[in-house]
Structure 1
Amino acid sequence: MAAESGAGTQAVERAMSLLACFTDEQSELRITELCARTGLGQSTVSRMISSLDRLGYVVQDARTGLYSLGPSAVTLGSVALNNSPLFCAARPIAQSLAHATGLGVNLAEFRDDRLFYLCNFEGARSPKSFTMSGRTAPLHATGMGKAILAAQDGEYVQNYFAKGFGHAYTPHTITEPAAMKAVLAEVRNRGYATEVEELAFGRACVAAPIHARGGQVVAALSLSGPLSELDLAGRQQELSLMVVEAADELSVALGFTVTFTPRSSLPLSSQEPPHGA
């Protein structure tokens, strides 16, 4: 029985390793490429891919012979998302915010020292031809990541960089713990974070933290888009108020008691130059 259990576990792990080979960068693969990526023999890969194909987790292009993820994989992802209280609460709020601003609205959880995107909606002025759901992003180079980092203690921030996570994506990326701690102090003071070309050139965002019932920051919400559309120099206060209110609404949906701050008492952040500009 133990031997059968071990063999079954190994088969599952091998099948999952094959599915994990498919990425945004390499969404279509040949059997030989799957062998190279997993280290499995061609007969093993062929047998397992055939089973995954039969079950709908992969599909083969009849013309090219290339495999890609199939409809069963999409179904599982949808089930996982629809089982998330955060996703279900955020979907109408994010969609409404994207429509009102014409900008992109993103929702991401704090998971394993990274952002894990649950959903995104694109406004008319910030279109994308792909979804962010299921993707990950670094904490230090994103507005949502900084909104989450601001809720962590100094030791966590120090260890984050000590682990080698603080890569530079552009010349504007903050890569030093001391500089990041100063930025995070500002984020805590004003209640939201900004990011200007720290992850990608020509892009910016404004983000606010989302609190769980116990008060811990578990996720963040952001408004993002091209620099020209966000216009942080002129619209930072307006956009920050909108994203903070939406994030607070999500926190309430998760059971957190929010003390709402009157608009007139919030910092006049639009008078401050955005970080990284």
Structure 2
Amino acid sequence: MPGEIQQGIGRAASVLEALGASTSGPLRASDIARATGLGASTTARLLGTLEELGYVSKLAAGPAYTIGPAILALSSAGLNQNAVHREARSAAQELAHRTGLSVNVAVRDGASSVYLCHFEGSLAPKSHTMVGLHQPLHASALGKCLLSGLGDDERRELLGDEPYPRYTKNTLTTFEALTADLARVAERGTALEDQELALGRLCVAAPIRDATGSVVAAISISGRLTVMNDHDLDALSEELVEVADRISVGLGMISAIPVR
């Protein structure tokens, strides 16, 4: 029986993941079955149970499903229980308003970063939220900040075999190149992402630390290259470091951290 329960939970999770990964909006049961590899009857049974629990919603206009209100409620509760989110939310929102740019806060989730906060300034509007989105550590400024708190052996194990996935011609795909860049992060106190994850995009990030001095999160300012070039990057970096430091103090950091 425990094995059957575990299998059922795994199948339900795969249905929710398929719905969450959809880029075309609501999915029909047949679409979900194809995406998960489950049988039609199994998929229908799972959807019925998940709908009853509020984890999925069936559209009244047609036989298609979306993520349900129970998932939204759990996501909200999870964010509110996260200490980094609580400390960073207001500061990140104010920074986005002052600069007019996008401001994101992320933590590490295995070999990627996941956004906890996402705010848009007047110069960087988006039609979607970035909260919950995962990004590769080696190709993003937020990820570099999160990697800066780890030792070489930890980074090697975390990132896996070289070359690392390439997203643009600027992506750092070797451990040697990434390590050299992380040395500059330690020296500057900020990480730069210059069209490494997406062409036409520039991002600067700063690490956030907890009471022990460990890097537990990062905060970034980003925007289109043409928009960012209209700003003083040094001034933006200084402001970003100040905000990151304020959040770190809120998390309990009270002493200076020596550079590795």
Taking structure 2 as the reference length, the TM-score comes to 0.92
Q: Which residue of 2 aligns with 1:54?
A: 52
1:189 pairs, out of 184, 187, 190, with 187
**Contact between 2:124 and 2:223, CA under 8 Å: does it hold in 1?**
yes
Q: Which residue of 1 aligns with 2:73?
A: 75
Structure 1 residues 155 and 104: alpha-carbon distance in aligned structure 2, compared to 1, 3 A threshold: same
The unaligned stretches of length 5 or more in structure 2 are none
1:66 aligns with 2:34: no
**Contact between 2:111 and 2:159, CA under 8 Å: does it hold in 1?**
no
Task: Provide the rounded CA distance (Å) in 2 between the counterparts of 1:143 and 1:72.
Answer: 33
1:12 aligns with 2:9: yes
Task: Provide the rounded CA distance (Å) in 2 between the counterparts of 1:73 and 1:55.
Answer: 10
**Contact between 1:204 and 1:227, CA under 8 Å: does it hold in 2?**
yes
Stretches of 4+ aligned residues off by more than 4 angstroms: none
> Counterparts in 2 of 1:109-188, with a 5 A limit?
109-163=107-161, 166-188=164-186
Q: Partner of 2:18: helix, strand, or coil?
A: coil
Query: Residue by residue, what CA displacement relative to the aligned partner does 1:128-179 show, whole Å, maximum 9, x if unpaired?
Result: 1111111100011111111122222122333444335821101111111111
The unaligned stretches of length 5 or more in structure 1 are 261-277
Which letter does structure 1 place at the counterpart of 2:250? A
Which letter does structure 1 place at the counterpart of 2:70? S
Query: Residue by residue, what CA displacement relative to the aligned partner does 1:29-61 show, whole Å, maximum 9, x if unpaired?
Result: 221222222232211211110121222211222
User: Is 189-198 or 59-68 further displaced after alignment?
Assistant: 59-68
Larger Rg: 1
Q: Partner of 2:27: helix, strand, or coil?
A: coil
Taking structure 1 as the reference length, the TM-score comes to 0.87
Query: Residue by residue, what CA displacement relative to the aligned partner does 1:222-248 show, whole Å, maximum 9, x if unpaired?
Result: 00111122228x612100011111111
Task: Provide the rounded CA distance (Å) in 2 between the counterparts of 1:126 and 1:33.
Answer: 34
**Contact between 1:138 and 1:165, CA under 8 Å: does it hold in 2?**
no
- TM-superposed CA distance for 1:206, in Å, is 0.9
1:106 pairs, out of 99, 104, 107, with 104
**Contact between 1:108 and 1:118, CA under 8 Å: does it hold in 2?**
yes
Structure 1 residues 162 and 47: alpha-carbon distance in aligned structure 2, compared to 1, 3 A threshold: closer
- TM-superposed CA distance for 1:203, in Å, is 0.8
Q: Partner of 2:232: helix, strand, or coil?
A: helix
Q: Which residue of 1 aligns with 2:198?
A: 200
Sequence identity percentage: 40
Q: Which residue of 1 aligns with 2:244?
A: 247
Task: Provide the rounded CA distance (Å) in 2 between the counterparts of 1:44 and 1:57.
Answer: 17
Task: Provide the rounded CA distance (Å) in 1 between the counterparts of 2:136 and 2:74.
Answer: 25
User: Is 147-156 or 208-217 further displaced after alignment?
Assistant: 147-156
